[in-house]
């Protein structure tokens, strides 16, 4: 039988995609999941009971990872959409499962680094198995609010590496929040277009130019998420594999830039560096550009990379000289006929109090030696 070969300039039909919705508390993200096509919810967060009459799908009340791992293809055959609620709780469930094995535990009871990598591998393999079987997968997550300078940033409440990895594998990602309409009413909207205030991804071209999709009354719109996913798949299926790859890679570069801009300390840089290693291994077309963006942010933060440990370190905390020490330096400068302002300009500091206390004796010795040389 002849193989069905699809050339690079032909659209490749996608039958299942990954949708990622994160939301502020109390906005009905669990209820939203039940509007998927023939949906089943893996209730890791134990909140399905709060949906009331809006619970239109089946539920797996997850007490332990085994409850999900033991499900067979036959168990899931009646369903077209698998809702993971929440994805953060799912990852924790896998880690808790691995902690049952002594070899995976450190002395303090925490998960070994190698086992953490295994947890991520189990997660990805399971999601891939769902996609391979033709199931649409919907990640539900809580939103976290972080501060970056004067800007509030909303993003999924997950650790840095997991957050970046989930962004990569998702086809569409939106932030569900509330806005006040022109009539003064509250309305729910999902933002699929990335902005400085939130993370998003829109391979499905949802919401037009604004990327905004308004959430209707789910009681009268029981197929809202199903229709949304179908619209995204319809658009994706108009693209050739090459076009889709370019689009995803560009979105990932923009998200990387945003994540680096939001990094505030060495811990953030270490998580990004771990993610970058995976991108390099996968031959991401923008991996080198991402590396340069990361290095630029590290310089802005003043963080240094320890090659021996393979980790970024925060800059040492500044500890300035005391007022008494300042007065002592001022007196030495006066004796040397050296103007304080000129000395500060020469040293590249704004004032004498910008001198680190560890350098106090060195600065004194420098002034005395400079004055002695001037008298010779």
For the stretch 260-276, pLDDT in tens is 988 888 888 998 998 89
212 and 72 within one domain: yes
**Element (DSSP H or E) covering residue 105:** none
Residues 80 and 195 in one domain: yes
Return the pLDDT at 5: 60
Which of 210, 233, 256 is the last residue in one of the domains?
233
pLDDT of residue 3: 56
For residue 261, give the nearest of 304, 313, 223, 297 by alpha carbon. 297
In contact, 68 and 62? CB cutoff 8 Å: yes
Last residue of a domain, one of 233, 267, 288: 233
228 lies in the same domain as 367: no
Number of CB atoms found within 10 A of residue 208's CB = 10
CATH of the domain at 149: 3.40.50
- Is residue 136 assigned to a domain? yes
CA atoms of 103 and 105, how far apart (whole Å): 6
pLDDT at 120 over 50: yes
State whether 351 and 223 are in the same domain: no
Please tell me whether residues 170 and 32 are part of one structural domain: yes
pLDDT in tens, 318-374: 788 888 999 999 899 988 888 888 888 777 777 888 888 888 898 899 888 888 877
In which band, very low, low, confident or very high, does the pLDDT at 11 lie, cut at 50, 70 and 90? low
Tens digits of per-residue pLDDT, 225-254? 999 999 999 999 998 888 888 888 998 999
Would 58 be classed as within a structural domain?
yes
Residue 57, domain member (yes or no):
yes
- The per-residue pLDDT for range 133-157, each reduced to its tens digit, is 999 999 999 998 887 667 788 988 8
Whether 177 is covered by a domain: the verdict is: yes
Whole domain around residue 213: which residue ranges?
A: 18-233
pLDDT of 24 reads: 85
**The overall pTM is greater than 0.85:** no
256 lies in some domain: no
State the pairing for strand pair 39-43/81-85: parallel
Q: At 326, phi and psi to the nearest 5?
A: -60, -45
Is the pLDDT confidence value at 4 over 70?
no
Domain stop point among 181, 204, 233: 233
Q: How far is CA 27 from CA 83, 242, 310, in A?
A: 16, 37, 41
pLDDT at 344: 84
Residue 44 in tokens: 């890791």
Fill in the DSSP letter of residue 244: H
Asked if 338 and 196 sit in the same domain, the reply is no
Most distant CA atoms of the chain, gap in Å: 98
CA dihedral 7, 166, 132, 62 (to 10 degrees): -170
């Amino acid at each position: 039988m002849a193989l069905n070969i699809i050339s690079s300039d032909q659209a490749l039909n996608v039958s299942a995609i990954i949708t990622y919705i994160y939301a502020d508390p109390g906005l009905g993200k669990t209820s939203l999941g039940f509007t998927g096509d023939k949906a089943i919810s893996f209730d890791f967060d134990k909140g399905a009971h709060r949906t009331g009459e809006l619970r239109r799908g089946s539920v797996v009340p997850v007490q332990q990872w085994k409850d999900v791992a033991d499900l067979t293809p036959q168990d899931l055959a009646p369903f077209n959409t698998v809702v993971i609620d929440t994805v953060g709780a799912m990852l924790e469930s896998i880690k808790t499962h691995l902690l049952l094995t002594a070899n995976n535990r450190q002395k303090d009871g925490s998960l070994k680094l190698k086992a953490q990598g295994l947890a991520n591998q189990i997660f990805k393999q399971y999601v891939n198995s769902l996609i391979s079987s033709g199931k649409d997968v919907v990640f539900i997550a809580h939103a976290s609010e972080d501060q970056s300078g004067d800007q509030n940033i909303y993003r999924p409440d997950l650790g840095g590496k997991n957050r970046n990895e989930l962004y990569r594998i998702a086809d569409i990602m939106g932030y569900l929040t509330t806005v006040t309409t022109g009539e003064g009413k509250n309305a729910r909207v999902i933002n699929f277009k990335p902005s400085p205030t939130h993370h998003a991804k829109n391979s499905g071209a949802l919401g037009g130019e604004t990327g905004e999709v308004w959430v209707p009354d789910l009681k009268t719109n029981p197929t809202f998420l199903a229709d949304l996913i179908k619209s995204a798949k319809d658009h994706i299926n108009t693209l050739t594999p090459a076009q889709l790859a370019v689009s995803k890679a560009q979105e990932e570069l923009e998200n990387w830039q945003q994540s680096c801009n939001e990094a505030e300390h060495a811990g953030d840089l270490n998580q990004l560096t771990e993610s970058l290693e995976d991108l390099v291994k996968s031959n991401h077309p923008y991996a080198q550009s991402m590396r340069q963006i990361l290095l630029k942010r590290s310089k802005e933060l003043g963080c240094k990379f320890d090659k021996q440990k393979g980790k970024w370190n925060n800059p040492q905390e500044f500890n300035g000289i005391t007022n008494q020490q300042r007065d002592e330096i001022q007196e030495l400068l006066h004796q040397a006929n050296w103007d304080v302002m000129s000395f500060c300009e020469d040293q590249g500091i704004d004032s004498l109090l910008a001198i680190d206390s560890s350098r106090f004796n060195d600065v004194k010795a420098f002034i005395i030696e400079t004055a002695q040389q001037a008298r010779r």
